[in-house]
Amino acid sequence: MGQHRPDLFQKFMAWYQACQEDGALSRREKALIGLAVAHVIQCPYCIDAYSQSCLESGSNMEQMTEAIHMASAIRGGAALIHGLQAHQSVNKVSM
């Protein structure tokens, strides 16, 4: 990706790496967030990368599994709540 616009690629990589450094959240916490998001966006490369990052930053499988369940619960809840939109549409047509 950096071959044709190395300036943009380098800027992205600098920002991406800075986002993962310790701050208000630890690197470990950020890796767990990354793992959860990777599952929600269904990115196999990201899942592999953040699984490794989680292990390297000190997370264990139980913590990683909870992060994945949390992301799944939010995704599932959002899908369920969108059901209200279907109900409202049906109610408008039924009136």
Give the tens place of pLDDT for each residue, 2-11: 999 999 999 9
Would residue 46 count as lying in a domain?
Answer: yes
**Cβ burial 3-32 (10 Å sphere, 16+ → b, else e):** eeeeeeeeeeeeeeeeeeeeeeeebbbbbb
Would residue 13 count as lying in a domain?
Answer: no
Would residue 4 count as lying in a domain?
Answer: no
CB-based contact 95:63 (threshold 8 Å)? no
pLDDT at 3: 94
Would residue 36 count as lying in a domain?
Answer: yes
Would residue 87 count as lying in a domain?
Answer: yes
Using CB atoms within 10 A of its CB, is residue 63 exposed (0-12), middle (13-18) or buried (19+)? middle
Amino acid in the structure at residue 23: G
Quick one: average pLDDT of 67-78? 96
Domain that holds residue 81: 24-94
pLDDT at 16: 97
CATH of the domain at 39: 1.20.1290.10
Query: Is a pLDDT exceeding 90 seen at residue 1?
Result: no
Give the tens place of pLDDT for each residue, 47-61: 999 999 999 999 999
Rounded to two decimals, the pTM is 0.84
Would residue 61 count as lying in a domain?
Answer: yes
Count how many domains the chain has.
1
* Dist. CA 27–CA 53, nearest whole Å: 9
